[in-house]
Amino acid sequence: MAITPKDAFNAARDIAAHAVEKASDIVEDAGDIIRGDISGGVSAIVQDSIEIATHAVERTREVFTGSDEDAEEDA
């Protein structure tokens, strides 16, 4: 399946929206660090960062391969 500009744009928009959502979580986690929960705040920031990267890789893979892992698992 060929990559269409529309698919690429939709994936980029989805990746950006997810990253912004997680960035707001990271700001909250930074607040936890300021309030004294250093290990909990840092752990949450790392987890949110990993989720941003994982989501971006998965969406990019979907665009390039034209498939969705969830759809393949259901089949």
The tens digit of pLDDT for each residue in 4-25 reads 889 999 999 999 999 999 999 9
Q: According to the model, what pLDDT value does residue 3 have?
A: 81
Cα–Cα distance list, 26 to 3, 17, 21, 33 (Å) = 32, 14, 9, 11
Q: Kindly write down the DSSP assignment for every residue of the chain, as one continuous string.
A: -PPPHHHHHHHHHHHHHHHHHHHHHHHHHHHHHHTT-HHHHHHHHHHHHHHHHHHHHHHHHHHHH---HHHHHH-
Model's pTM, two decimal places? 0.79
